[in-house]
Structure 1
Amino acid sequence: MEEPSVKIIETDILLISYLEHGAADGWPVLLSHGFPYDAHAFNTVSSILIQAGARVIAPFTRGFGKTRFISADTMRTGQQAARATDVIQLSQVLGLKRPIVGGFDWGGNSSCTVAALWPEQIGGLVSYAGYDIVDVSGQRHAATPSLERVCWYQHLFQSERGRECLTENRYELSRILWKEWSPDWQFDEETFARTSKAFENPDFVDVVIHTYRWMHGLNAGDPSLQPLENFLAQKPKITVPAVTIDGRADPLKPGGTSDYASLFIGQHEHIVTNAGHNVPQESPQVFADAVLKVHNWLK
């Protein structure tokens, strides 16, 4: 599939850059990446979906690629309500009608958050992994030692030493995370180099650092988004049709996320695949099939 050119649209506070695959009149899909990835993570997924008539929008999240804040005064927050607001506003500006939203890592979080906050504007959901809405109060408590060890990067980012490390070593650090989180994925240098260009964004470090400090309850979020975060703290159930995915080899999700099933009260299916954290690139057919399943439910 030919590499699409980067497009840019304006929302309330951002110039959002995105890749668009498929015909403009296709059924809409909006796929969001996480850290440390970019919109190209969905290229193969998109090539599968457009054969089934989809129009796929893959944005570069705030702090990545050519996505830019309009004002220097805007808080560089990476909290879930901010990234979800970006997704819903992108959908609105593009005129997408009840798109299927999906993603992994931060993108799974923002997609679940959009589905919980604005279900009337969403057709369905594909989430890696499970019910991926951040429980800030829960994050203040310890996980198992084995998982705390895997989350070393989150602990590093709580300090100014971590900010310096990310600023000076963003590519090396990201490569390490790719290898640790997807132990069986043999990605090539071209794939990593294409994605790592997105880390040159001037807001990359600020957004990443704030995301993890906010998640751990150590940094405040944007006060204007607090009502949304208060609602999310109640663990609202997801009502839209949803497929959730686990990767057996993902060290960030030991044991999987099937126990979240009760938080999905619409049509729901949970699947497990032989992949690590980056399912869209490791198992693109599985991810695309999940989107197609939701699409068929909506017919």
Structure 2
Amino acid sequence: MPPIAPLLYMRTSMLDVAYEAHGPTDGEPVILLHGFPYDPRGYDAIAPALAARGCRVWVPYLRGYGPTRFINEQVMRSGQQAALAKDLLDFMDALCIPQATLAGYDWGGRAACIVAALWPERVHGLVTGDGYNIQDIAQSLKPRLPADEHRLWYQFYFHTQRGVEGLTANRREFCELLWSLWSPSWAEGPGLYGQTAPSFDNPDFVDVVIHSYRHRFMYAPGDPALEAIEQALALQPTIAVPSISLCGADDGVGPPPVEDDDTEHFSGFYRRDVLPGVGHNIPQEAPHVTLAAICELLDRR
């Protein structure tokens, strides 16, 4: 494994964000975003390679993960999609990044998709795990097919007090189970889990996770300060920036459909690549493919 970059911090109006940075300070900006339940270790084979190409690469810990902390005890520990997007936008503003190529999956992919959709002038290109990752909350209570409902068992668990207590007591064991279920063909996963597990010891991890999975089903109110963003997302805005969707064919939580039903959400260059033998943790399971996709978009000038 390449050496881990030193940990850095910057402050937004809400968070002290912990992040790792790679490459020359004047390099082409790239931001890599992890999901649930993962952390920046998912990009250990990608960030140094981008830095060697001459890029300036930032890999932040999302709210509720690792050393990132809320600066105010009274702030709502929201995990809603608008909060993740606003964190990304605030991160870019605080570091004076006018525009960047974004890559993310799961929660991080959602943040990247939202910023690309609502603030396209800030995004040069987008590599998104599993396509259009913006939640259609108005449709969330509509039952899905039984097989899809079965794969979302953990979300329904989080809707209960039992789920809160279970995640609180067993966060490392719980997330390890999700790693195995979501990436069933990833032989290296069990050996790498221990590098990421400490990120779930963040004191806000449980609150942020529970709110995320309740808000998306309208079982918890959102942060009033983010309501304007949520209203914009309810319109399911299209993404116009050049985009590549990477989908793991063996994804245990959201296997890609045969026909790409996300095409209508992208109005610019867009391509979906389905990756055989890859599960949900796309950048860590398929770093070379992820790196190639990022570089392809960097080269689009």
Q: Counterpart in 1 of 2:152?
A: 151
Residue in structure 1 matched with residue 202 of structure 2 by the alignment: 201
What's the counterpart of residue 108 of structure 2?
A: 107
Q: Does the CA-based 8 Å contact 1:33-1:60 persist in structure 2?
A: yes
The Cα shift of 1:287 comes to 0.7
Q: Which runs of 5+ in 1 are unaligned?
A: none
In the TM superposition, 1:159-170 aligns within 5 A as 159-170=160-171
Aligned residues: 298
Partner of 2:298 in structure 1? 295
Aligned structure 1 segments of 4 or more residues deviating by more than 3 angstroms:
none
Preserved CA contact (<8 Å) 2:20 2:60: yes
TM-score (structure 1 length as normaliser): 0.97
One-letter amino acid of the structure 2 residue matched with residue 101 of structure 1: L
Partner of 2:48: 47
- CA–CA distance in structure 2, aligned partners of residues 222 and 188 of structure 1: 35
Distance 1:108 1:226 in 2: 20
Partners of 1:248 and 1:272 within 8 A in 2? yes
Runs (5+) with no aligned partner, structure 2: none
For 2:126 and 2:256, the matched residues in 1 are separated by 22
After alignment, is 175-184 or 45-54 more displaced?
A: 45-54
Quote the residue 2:268 is aligned against.
266
| Residue equivalent to 1:283 | 286
Partner Cα separation in structure 2 for residue 12 and residue 248 of structure 1: 39
Quote the Cα distance in structure 1 between the aligned partners of 2:292 and 2:247: 14
- Report the alpha carbon displacement of residue 189 of structure 1 after superposing the two structures with TM: 5.3
The CA deviation string for residues 206-228 of structure 1, in whole angstroms up to 9 with x for no partner, is: 00000000011100100111111
2:180–2:190 CA contact under 8 A, matched in 1: no
Q: Secondary structure at the match of 1:123?
A: strand
Post-superposition shift, 1:289? 0.8
Report the AA paired with residue 5 of structure 2: P
The farther-off stretch of 81-90 and 49-58 is 49-58
State the distance in 1 between where 2:202 and 2:61 align: 10
Residue type of the alignment partner of 1:279: I
Give the corresponding residue for 1:78.
Answer: 79
CA distance in structure 2 between the partners assigned to 1:12 and 1:25 by the alignment: 25
Please tell me the residue identity of whatever aligns with 1:277.
Answer: H
In 1, are the aligned partners of 2:29 and 2:99 still within 8 Å (CA)? yes
What's the Cα RMSD here?
1.2
Equivalent-residue separation in structure 1 for 2:174 and 2:75 (angstroms):
27
- Contact 1:48/1:285 (8 A) holds in 2: no
